[in-house]
Structure 1
Amino acid sequence: MSSTDYFAKKLKLWHIVVIGLGYMAPMAVFDTFGIVTDSTKGHVSGAYTFTLIAILFTALSYGKMVRAFPNAGSSYTYVQQSINPSMGFLVGWAAMLDYLFLPMINALLTNIYLSALFPNVPKTVWILTFIIIMTLLNIFSVQVAVSFGGILVLFQIIVAIVFIFLSSTQSYGSWSFAPFASGNLSASLLLNGASILCFSFLGFDAVTTLSEETIDAKKTVPKGILLVALIGGILFISVSYFAQLLFPSADHFKDLEGASAEIAYSLGGKLFQSIFVAAALTSTIASGLASHMSASRLLFAMGRDGYLPRNIFGYVHPKTKTPIWNILFVGVISCISLFLTLESATSLINFGALVAFSAVNIAVFAHYFLRQKRHTFTSIIQHAVFPCLGLLFILFLWFHLEKHSLLIGVIWSFIGIIYLLVARRSKNLTIPTFHFD
């Protein structure tokens, strides 16, 4: 069955960019600013620039694999088709940690923001309301969800631009290159910052799960991947530059984790601080929409192949053209956030993201360089050198992964291996060979 028999191809380039930016949550630059200022000794912009350049190699790898396999499965499909079906499943299984727990993180963040404004409302109310809204918006139509998310992303960008304007007027006359580099900058400081900031770029990979719903996916999605990474990166660099001019060191903050509120208040008092909180809230909603959407598509790809019950996870509603059972499943699973802290939930997404990033870089080399034997000079650069550079950066991040995240990830992978051994005895597995036009 071809991909067009499942989904309606309606998404355009701007839809892909909106989904990716929504997933990235542009306002996240303020959430980590205090911590990264401390870890980089006042070189947040330099750390963002380094991270953007490093992560672009992996973004290019995703673009290469989309052209080969414009499928909803993302890293799961790429490894399945270029290396080995069982390895593909295990990569997809690991990536589920990232895809399933990010909606929970957004639910927890939404509760934090709203509880600060309405302290008497129980946590359960905010989390369940958030999950229900995300689920319903995703069920009805992907275009409805994207359009709503686009409004939220636009609001965040406007707030970021207003922030840049206000901070540039206050720092006018003292502009310098110091936030990028100064006498006390070292490679270790940049790498310290990159180990935190790299996860701000999650989003370019998630849009690949919508390939089967995108018009001319082989061209549109790779462009969207690069635009998401570049627009997000430039926004992060610009905002952090002007913020760093006003707050050159971590000593300026009473609370490193709550630096965003202090920054907003110092620029525009209570009014701008309130706008800041509103923008932060919209970022969790936009990211919640996008993460819920991408998780349901990964589950669909694994369900269609029979790794998960096909009648449930491989089903797309004929009218809405959305995988409704998967969307409902993600909503139910997100209710686990009622029993989690933000710290515990955050620690669970990094393992899956690093597995997927590592695997896609390897898949490019395996598919183009080894299997298709593209050995021209240009091909060696694109299909060997670039993926290796991307993998090198990801390997560095592996060494900085928290032990708790690594332990949970290993346990989850071990469960996946057991599940795979059981699934392989079933006659329901149908690993497809894709021949897209």
Structure 2
Amino acid sequence: MQKSATLKRSLGLWPIVMLGVGYMTPMVVFDTFGIASKEADGHVPMAYIIALVAMLFTAFSYGKMVRAFPSAGSAYTYTQKTISPHLGFLVGWSSLLDYLLLPMVNALLTQIYLSALFPEVPAWIWVVGFVALVTIINAVGVNSTANFNTLFVLYQMLVVVIFVILAVRQLIGGFGYGEVFPVGPLYTPDMHMSTLIAGATVLCFSFLGFDAVTTYSEETPNPTKTIPRAIFFTALIGGLVFIVGSYFTQALFPDITRFKNPDATSPEIALYAGGKVFQMFFLAGALAGTIASGLASHASVSRLLYVMGRDNILPQKLFGYVHPRTHTPLFNVILVGFISMTAVFFTLEIASAFISFGALIAFTFVNLSVIAHYALKKKEYKTLGGFLSHILLPIIGAAFVAVLWYNLEASSFTMGVIWFGIGLVYLMYVTKLFRVRPMDIHFEEADEESAVIEGEPIVENGVLAK
């Protein structure tokens, strides 16, 4: 029997929450403000409140599923265990689209920021440097990743706090609404629910990533307790930062007529709020956001690939490997780094177009998995609490996700379907046209049997063994 290492259970609640918040990138509230204000007709904070409520339903479903299956596989494992192994692979494959490309998007954003400051430096150097930094930190260990990520998240929080202070000063001076706590950003007599929903639909995509904390389920000592709380706190903290940041931004800018470029409002927001000095401090926060999101997204996709490798749906010898000293899925970390390097050949628009499809696939099937596992399989729906928790709330969560599906850009849907088709062809090949279950696939190079280092928790098929 060959022994192999496992992921190390060393993360507490707040490092995981910080990884989740880092993934979401708090500073994005300023990047999307112009677009959201146009959609929500000047009521961005209220649209964020609606988006947060909508996402909390799906967050609740994630919490229910991680209690049943405390695996790093997230939506892939939940669908595999509750609905169908074959469908589980396709959900995991689709989620990879989101997880794999977000590190690339962050590399491209870093390139954009730094190229603007240092135009004489070749743009590709920033991509290579960013990817190398994120890959090395992830390779060293999950605690190093969490610690660096926390520093960058806290810096973003500091930027938001200083922005609020400067915004209050400007409001007192008569800028924007001209009062510190105006009602206008939240309510005006002529506001319409249709515009609020349109704005919330755009802003829901800011919450993509709160689910990524489930990929650390096998790196915390008590996942069935810690991860559901981490999911809730990640969505709530991220949502509160978005609401507060957008409220004071909307108070300063009741409409978008003041902006020269409404589709990229961050630099102008910072300039009007605090001048050139604060603008530099502010843009450094945006850079910190890309690094934090890069670290967290790189770590998350490495764990998802690890679980798919451990299940042998991807070659186990490579994807299921954990380095015995660092307790990281080292092959996956390096692979994701190489994939992220290809950002030098893409534009931000192309890379971003792929992301939403995979996230919505995951959100949809997590809600459906709650119904399949708790209501259909375990019959836990006959009490009022069971009906609410296992049928009504996940249906509401799925309904909100359906609205996002309806508003998904055509390019995102088209590229997503192509990626899904590639995964379907691969699945048909390795399962001999679905005659073999994914967990029964045997690659020649895979280990015949795997064990764990003595003293480590045993995980079998994504579930903690008793």
- TM-score higher than 0.5: yes
Name the structure with the higher helix share.
1
1:199 alignment partner, SS class: helix
The one-letter code matched in structure 1 to 2:380 is R
Aligned counterpart, 1:149: 149
Aligned counterpart, 2:232: 226
User: Could you tell me how far apart the structure 2 residues matched to 1:308 and 1:30 are?
Assistant: 39
Aligned counterpart, 1:66: 66
Aligned counterpart, 2:442: 428
RMSD of Structure 2 on Structure 1 (CA): 1.6
User: Could you tell me how far apart the structure 1 residues matched to 2:171 and 2:389 are?
Assistant: 42
Please report how far the alpha carbon of residue 176 of structure 1 lies from its aligned counterpart in structure 2 after TM superposition. 1.8
1:11 alignment partner, SS class: coil
TM-score by length of 2: 0.91
Please report how far the alpha carbon of residue 183 of structure 1 lies from its aligned counterpart in structure 2 after TM superposition. 2.1
Aligned counterpart, 2:96: 96
Q: After superposition, what is the alpha-carbon deviation per residue over 1:190-216, rounded to whole angstroms, capped at 9, x for unaligned?
A: 121122211111222001011000120
Q: Does 1:336 align with 2:342?
A: yes
- Asked whether the 8 Å contact 2:50–2:200 carries over to 1, the reply is yes
Give the stretch that moved more between structures: 399-408 or 164-173. 164-173
User: Could you tell me how far apart the structure 2 residues matched to 1:384 and 1:300 are?
Assistant: 31
Please report how far the alpha carbon of residue 269 of structure 1 lies from its aligned counterpart in structure 2 after TM superposition. 0.8
Give the stretch that moved more between structures: 289-298 or 426-435. 426-435
- Asked whether the 8 Å contact 1:303–1:310 carries over to 2, the reply is yes
- Asked whether the 8 Å contact 1:96–1:352 carries over to 2, the reply is yes
The one-letter code matched in structure 2 to 1:416 is G
Please report how far the alpha carbon of residue 433 of structure 1 lies from its aligned counterpart in structure 2 after TM superposition. 7.2
The one-letter code matched in structure 2 to 1:428 is H
Q: How many aligned residue pairs are there?
A: 435
User: Could you tell me how far apart the structure 2 residues matched to 1:123 and 1:393 are?
Assistant: 39
Q: Does 1:413 align with 2:420?
A: yes
Q: After superposition, what is the alpha-carbon deviation per residue over 1:65-111, rounded to whole angstroms, capped at 9, x for unaligned?
A: 11000101000000000111001000000001000000000000000
Query: Aligned to 1:290, which of 278, 296, 300?
Result: 296
- Asked whether the 8 Å contact 2:367–2:394 carries over to 1, the reply is yes
Aligned counterpart, 1:171: 171
The one-letter code matched in structure 1 to 2:53 is I
Matches of residues 23-422 of structure 1 in structure 2 within 5 Å? 23-172=23-172, 174=179, 175-375=181-381, 376-422=383-429
User: Could you tell me how far apart the structure 2 residues matched to 1:241 and 1:435 are?
Assistant: 44
User: Could you tell me how far apart the structure 1 residues matched to 2:401 and 2:284 are?
Assistant: 34
Segments ≥4 residues shifted beyond 4 Å: none
1:252 alignment partner, SS class: coil
TM-score by length of 1: 0.97
Q: After superposition, what is the alpha-carbon deviation per residue over 1:370-404, rounded to whole angstroms, capped at 9, x for unaligned?
A: 10100211011011111011100100110111111
The one-letter code matched in structure 1 to 2:393 is F
User: Could you tell me how far apart the structure 1 residues matched to 2:462 and 2:146 are?
Assistant: 30
- Asked whether the 8 Å contact 1:350–1:405 carries over to 2, the reply is yes
User: Could you tell me how far apart the structure 1 residues matched to 2:414 and 2:264 are?
Assistant: 28
- Asked whether the 8 Å contact 2:28–2:206 carries over to 1, the reply is yes
Q: After superposition, what is the alpha-carbon deviation per residue over 1:344-364, rounded to whole angstroms, capped at 9, x for unaligned?
A: 111100000000000000001
The structure whose Rg is larger is: 2
1:56 alignment partner, SS class: helix
User: Could you tell me how far apart the structure 2 residues matched to 1:5 and 1:392 are?
Assistant: 41
- Asked whether the 8 Å contact 1:97–1:348 carries over to 2, the reply is yes
User: Could you tell me how far apart the structure 1 residues matched to 2:361 and 2:262 are?
Assistant: 29
User: Could you tell me how far apart the structure 1 residues matched to 2:327 and 2:96 are?
Assistant: 22
Please report how far the alpha carbon of residue 436 of structure 1 lies from its aligned counterpart in structure 2 after TM superposition. 4.5
User: Could you tell me how far apart the structure 2 residues matched to 1:83 and 1:434 are?
Assistant: 16
2:95 alignment partner, SS class: helix
The one-letter code matched in structure 1 to 2:106 is N
Give structure 1 stretches of 5+ with no counterpart: none
- Asked whether the 8 Å contact 1:69–1:436 carries over to 2, the reply is no
Give the stretch that moved more between structures: 170-179 or 414-423. 170-179
Give structure 2 stretches of 5+ with no counterpart: 173-177, 444-448, 450-459
Please report how far the alpha carbon of residue 423 of structure 1 lies from its aligned counterpart in structure 2 after TM superposition. 1.4
- Asked whether the 8 Å contact 1:81–1:433 carries over to 2, the reply is no
The one-letter code matched in structure 2 to 1:111 is Q
User: Could you tell me how far apart the structure 2 residues matched to 1:205 and 1:433 are?
Assistant: 17
User: Could you tell me how far apart the structure 2 residues matched to 1:31 and 1:417 are?
Assistant: 36
User: Could you tell me how far apart the structure 1 residues matched to 2:407 and 2:322 are?
Assistant: 39
- Asked whether the 8 Å contact 2:71–2:462 carries over to 1, the reply is no
Give the stretch that moved more between structures: 282-291 or 194-203. 194-203
Identical aligned residues as a percent: 50
- Asked whether the 8 Å contact 1:26–1:157 carries over to 2, the reply is yes
